[in-house]
Structure formats: C-alpha cells, structure tokens
Amino acid sequence: MSHVFTRALVRPPTANFADGLTTVTLGAPDFSRASAQHAAYCTALRACGLTVESLPPQPAYPDATFIEDTAVIVPGLAVLARPGASSRLGEVATVRDAVTRAVGTVREIVGPGTLDGGDVCEHGTHLFVGISHRTNEEGARQLAAEVGHTASTIDIRGVTSILHLKSGLVSVDDRLLVAIDALAKHPALAGHDVLRVAPGESYAANCVRVNTRVLVADGFPRLAAALKSRGFDPLPLGMSEFQKMDGGLSCLSLRF
C-alpha cells in the first residue's frame, strides 16, 4: 500500500442515533453498545498508528457519526461532499473547520451535484464512484475534476443490498479489491484483482485497510481467513449497532 495514514477524524454517536436514516430492518440500535463499539473503533485506529481527533456529537444530525460521508480526502486535498439526503446536508458545515485545519486545501461539491463520501472507493490513483440514491453523475464528475484522478462510475441503484458503493466494494491495497457478488463482475472492475466476499458475509465487504492492519466487522470468519491467506492482518471489531443504521467500518472516520 503506497499511502500511510497518520490521522483520522471521528464523531461519536448521539443519544438519538436511532432517529437516523436506515433502509434495513435489524431493529433499533442500542446507544450504550454503539458508544462502546465506537470507542473500540477509535482505539483500533490508534493502535494502527493514527492520531484520532474526535469532533463533538451533533444531536441535530443523528447520522453524523457516519462522518466519512461529509468529505473525500486525498493527499493534500479535501473535497467537501454534498449529501444526497436532505436531512444530512447540514453535517458538512460541522466538519469544515476541522477538515480545513487538517488538510489545508479544501474544495466542495456544489448543486446540482450530490455526493456521499461512502460512494467513493479510492484504488491507488483511480476512483470508483457509485451512482446511488445519494450520489449523482454530476457529483461524481465534480469530484473527479477536483481530485484529478482517473475515475469510473458504477451504478448501484439496482443493487438493493447496499446503500453506498463502499458497502460492497473496497480497496485494501493498490492491487486488491474486495467486492460482493453483485459487483464483482462489473465491467468497471475488469482487469483488477477482486476478492469476492463469501455468500452470507456481504456486510463484511466494508473492511478498511489502515496501514498494516485491515479492520473487519466481527463475526465474519471467512472473509478474515481469505484476507489472511492474501497476507493481510485482519483486526475484527464489533459493528452490530452501526449495521442496524446502514453503517460500516469505513463510515465512522475520515482517514488521511
């Protein structure tokens, strides 16, 4: 992996976390358990060598713990997103100052473009951008222009099992992608090395490479074993309460 992460921005969940948006029917999240899982996540980031800055909770925005959706950060540049759900638009202003202090150069997606950071999979110097119910073609176009990377779009609006692209497609290094079955054979991935997630473990596709470790959701042993067989070092973390709100491991931090 060519890029080493040194910092992360996170935001703890709020007591009204269960009031956020979700498309799944797994029951209401337990706030105390979610808080403990978030704290363990932050501990894992620190163990991977990152300095973690925790932003204040935002009760006005119960989805704000999913901070990844507010920006896309590449070396030397941050692009503030424009969430596709109107209830989340205000979250961007709550991270602007921290992102500006941390990165310096900041651009932003403007209307009519919409973009959730969870729809952006960085693979080396290439971007895979999901066209979803939250991210549109104009948002994808603006992002690619600002970042200057090559980019491919993947329309996931017909993939009902995922909300964002990175729920089903992630890059664990410059060579290897991890993908759910519904995306593994997409033409945009032709020529790439793709590790397919075993049936029944699709939630675990949202794993996160952080320097020498790969954070994986706990309880999905086949993916952990597959990553080990490829030479990676998985670090399992409990994610049950965030899964109930359509969230995954990558959603909980901005890493740079």
Q: What span, in angstroms and rounded, lies between the C-alpha atoms of 181 and 62?
A: 31
Q: Please name which of 131, 184, 125 lies closest in space to residue 156, comparing C-alpha atoms.
A: 131
Task: Report the length, in residues, of the chain.
Answer: 256
Tokens of 249: 């491991």
**Could you read off the pLDDT of 223-245 as tens digits, one per residue?**
999 999 999 999 999 999 999 99
Q: Please name which of 72, 167, 177 lies closest in space to residue 124, comparing C-alpha atoms.
A: 177
pLDDT above 60 for 2: no
Q: What span, in angstroms and rounded, lies between the C-alpha atoms of 117 and 251?
A: 8
**Could you read off the pLDDT of 192-225 as tens digits, one per residue?**
999 999 989 999 999 999 999 999 999 999 999 9
Global pTM reads 0.96
**Could you read off the pLDDT of 126-141 as tens digits, one per residue?**
999 999 999 999 999 9
Q: What span, in angstroms and rounded, lies between the C-alpha atoms of 56 and 95?
A: 10
What pLDDT, on a 0 to 100 scale, did the predictor assign at position 3? 74
The total of other beta-carbon atoms located within 10 Å of residue 222's CB is 13
Average pLDDT, the chain: 97
Q: What span, in angstroms and rounded, lies between the C-alpha atoms of 172 and 126?
A: 13
Burial class (CB in 10 A: 0-12, 13-18, 19+), 219: middle
**Could you read off the pLDDT of 105-125 as tens digits, one per residue?**
999 999 999 999 999 999 999
Q: Please name which of 95, 80, 26, 47 lies closest in space to residue 247, comparing C-alpha atoms.
A: 26
pLDDT above 90 for 246: yes
DSSP string, 193-251: EEEEPPTT-GGGG--EEETTEEEEETT-HHHHHHHHHTT--EEEE--HHHHTTT--TGG
* H-type alpha helices, the chain: 31-47, 91-103, 137-147, 181-184, 221-229, 240-243
Catalytic residues: 164, 251
**Could you read off the pLDDT of 62-73 as tens digits, one per residue?**
999 999 999 999
Rounded to a whole number of angstroms, the CA Rg of the chain reads 16
Q: Right CATH number for 7-255 from 3.90.850.10, 3.30.420.40, 3.75.10.10, 1.10.20.140?
A: 3.75.10.10
Q: What is the mean pLDDT of residues 82-86?
A: 98
pLDDT above 70 for 1: no
pLDDT above 60 for 175: yes
